[in-house]
Amino acid sequence: LAKTTQPISMDSYEGQEVNITCSHNNIATNDYITWYQQFPSQGPRFIIQGYKTKVTNEVASLFIPADRKSSTLSLPRVSLSDTAVYYCLVGRTDSWGKLQFGAGTQVVVTP
């Protein structure tokens, strides 16, 4: 499973866009990039998944450059409720599917 590196923490104000970049230099050809969000005392929640270029859903956008050695999760116009830990994961779809989490990025949104 490819190792990922992401910032330990990020601060933002309400209404701003938050961009979290994750490095995964050893990503394999079959690996997808997945982001999860976790609030205190809750299990992680799937946010978005992508393989290349750009993916957008109602919650976030995921930007993946051509070399796929990094990816950026973009949270538009954050609110206080977006305060959480965000995890970047990289893995193969043909594996057992176990997820390898790092320490994640603690995002704190203030008024």
Residues that bind another protein (CB under 8 A): 32, 41-46, 49, 85, 87, 93, 96-104
- When the beta carbons of 53 and 93 are compared against another protein, the nearer one is 93
Minimum CB separation of residue 14 from another protein in Å reads 26
Determine the distance from the C-alpha atom of residue 52 to the mean position of all C-alpha atoms in its chain, rounded to a whole number: 14
- When the beta carbons of 37 and 70 are compared against another protein, the nearer one is 37
Minimum CB separation of residue 45 from another protein in Å reads 7
Minimum CB separation of residue 54 from another protein in Å reads 19
Cα separation of 15 and 96, whole Å? 39
Side-by-side strand order, sheet with 31-38: 9-13, 105-110, 84-92, 31-38, 45-50
- When the beta carbons of 7 and 15 are compared against another protein, the nearer one is 7
